[in-house]
Amino acid sequence: MYTVPKLVDYSPATLDAAAKDLIAACEAESAAVKSDSDYKSFRDHWMARKNGILTQINDGWLKAAPKDAKRDVGARVNEIKNAVEQTVAGAEQRLAESAAKSSMTSGRVDVTLPGIRRPLGAEHPVIRTMNAMVAVFKAMGYSVGDGPEIETDYYNFESLNFPPNHPARDTQDTIFLVGQEQKPQRDRLLLRTHTSPVQIRTMEKQKPPVRIVIPGKVHRNDAADATHSPVFHQIEGLCVDTHITFCDLKGTLDHAMKSFFGSSTRTRFQPSFFPFTEPSAEMALTCFKCGGSGKLGASESCRLCKSTGWIELLGCGMVDPNVYGFVGYDPAKVSGFAFGMGVERLAMALYDIDDIQLFYHGDVRFLEQFA
Ligand code: DAH
């Protein structure tokens, strides 16, 4: 460690040599600084007010100098001070830089490692089925619409030709919102039991011709079991134009089923009842698992269609002229058909799923099979 020598005289040569020695020593000590504590003792050794080297040369060299040498020694001491301060600051900076560098190298990215892949999500089988069926109708020129899940009694029932207190309302176990008793019945709010109210909303907004499909969520007061869910999905369809006949209904749905399930699919229509269609029908299609035979191979019976060869899929019919009255269409000028199908039913048949609840549990082991 450097100690301040006594000056033999104050000649420029002596001062030069002493300054040179001092600065060289300071630089050597600075180069040896490796840690924070090294730095602190280095700094104190040179710059501490009490007995640091700078203080020592101030006292030992400058103050002790004879009057006529003071100017010269003072200038020299100032130069030394600056040099020492710079060297000390340099050591501090070097230390900070190397700390930053080592923290960077310890967290450095190894570009040769395989990347972190985020698992990709996949469409839920219900949504996928819904989109696939909607796409079939889009290809036939249908547009896609939607409507509110909280509906009024008017849209969900009355305008669809379910008169107040009509027993047909009982077939749809409706969930009503609380606190609606004060309102007139038609304004009372409920969770829509089907997507059919969007037929009315569409026709109110749009003059014929109308060709639209409406996928959406519906709600019924049904206990959850293997084939029922209080919340499920439907796709509604509506086509209104001049000269639309039951043949158009059959042709459209037959074509849709063939393009969805395969060209060997056949359809069957049986009479049914819905308040908003007349005549009404249930459409079934030949079972796409057994091809309509009810049998798998020679003897095994087909579970999917319960050996009947047919799968009942949707309700449909010609729009009841009364419905046109609610939306300001002229039943003498226009005619049309409508249909509604359950998406879960469709997906269950398609993927051979025997419990509707599997769709809602969010179990990845089930869902990833559709990814
Ligand atoms: N809305 C009916 C239901 O949920 C299904 C339905 C039947 C819709 C016939 C229609 C139709 O558009 O024409 O049970």
Q: What is the pLDDT of residue 10?
A: 85
Round to whole Å and give the CA distance between 163 and 166: 5
| Maximum distance among all Cα pairs of the chain, rounded to whole angstroms | 128
Q: What is the pLDDT of residue 283?
A: 97
Q: Any idea where the domains of the chain sit in the sequence?
A: 12-105, 125-370
Predicted TM-score (pTM) of this structure: 0.69
Round to whole Å and give the CA distance between 45 and 101: 27
Distance 162 CA to ligand 1 centre (A): 12
104: pLDDT confidence band, cut at 50, 70 and 90? low
109: pLDDT confidence band, cut at 50, 70 and 90? confident
Round to whole Å and give the CA distance between 141 and 139: 5
Percentage of the residues of the chain whose pLDDT score is greater than 70: 99
Q: What's the whole-number mean pLDDT along residues 197-214?
A: 98
Q: Do 259 and 139 meet the contact criterion of CB atoms below 8 Å apart? A: yes
Average model confidence (pLDDT) across the chain: 92
3-state SS assignment for residue 2 = coil
Q: Do 243 and 251 meet the contact criterion of CB atoms below 8 Å apart? A: no
Distance 234 CA to ligand 1 centre (A): 9
Q: What is the pLDDT of residue 120?
A: 80
- Judge residue 76's burial from the number of C-beta atoms within 10 Å of its C-beta, 0-12 exposed, 13-18 middle, 19 or more buried: buried
Distance 274 CA to ligand 1 centre (A): 7
Phi first, then psi: give them for residue 206, nearest 5 degrees: -135, 135
State the closest ligand 1 atom to the C-alpha of 195, by its place in the atom list counted from 1: 1
Task: Please work out whether the CB of residue 235 comes within 6 Å of at least one atom of ligand 1.
Answer: no
Task: Please work out whether the CB of residue 317 comes within 6 Å of at least one atom of ligand 1.
Answer: yes
253: amino acid identity, one letter: L
Extract the tokens encoding 219. Answer: 């709600």
State the closest ligand 1 atom to the C-alpha of 234, by its place in the atom list counted from 1: 4
Ordered alpha helix ranges (H), 144-303: 153-156, 197-205, 246-261
3-state SS assignment for residue 25 = helix
Beta strands 335-342 and 310-319 are antiparallel
137-174 tens-digit pLDDT: 999 999 999 999 999 999 999 999 998 888 888 878 89
Q: Do 312 and 221 meet the contact criterion of CB atoms below 8 Å apart? A: no
Extract the tokens encoding 249. Answer: 């209904």
Q: What is the pLDDT of residue 312?
A: 92
Q: Which residue(s) pair with 58 in the sheet?
A: none
State the closest ligand 1 atom to the C-alpha of 196, by its place in the atom list counted from 1: 1
207-232 tens-digit pLDDT: 999 999 999 999 999 999 998 999 99
Neighbours of 368 (CB within 10 A): 10
Provide the 8-state DSSP code for 293.
S
pLDDT at 9 over 70: yes
Q: What is the pLDDT of residue 351?
A: 92
Q: Which residues contact 255 (CB under 8 A, 6 or more apart)?
A: 140
The CATH class, in words, for 125-370 is alpha beta
15: pLDDT confidence band, cut at 50, 70 and 90? confident
Q: What's the whole-number mean pLDDT along residues 83-94?
A: 89
292-344 tens-digit pLDDT: 999 988 889 998 888 999 999 999 999 999 999 999 999 999 999 999 999 99
Q: Do 47 and 30 meet the contact criterion of CB atoms below 8 Å apart? A: no
pLDDT at 65 over 90: no
35: pLDDT confidence band, cut at 50, 70 and 90? confident
22-32 tens-digit pLDDT: 889 889 888 88
Task: Please work out whether the CB of residue 161 comes within 6 Å of at least one atom of ligand 1.
Answer: no
Task: Please work out whether the CB of residue 147 comes within 6 Å of at least one atom of ligand 1.
Answer: no
Percentage of the residues of the chain whose pLDDT score is greater than 90: 59
Q: What is the pLDDT of residue 13?
A: 86
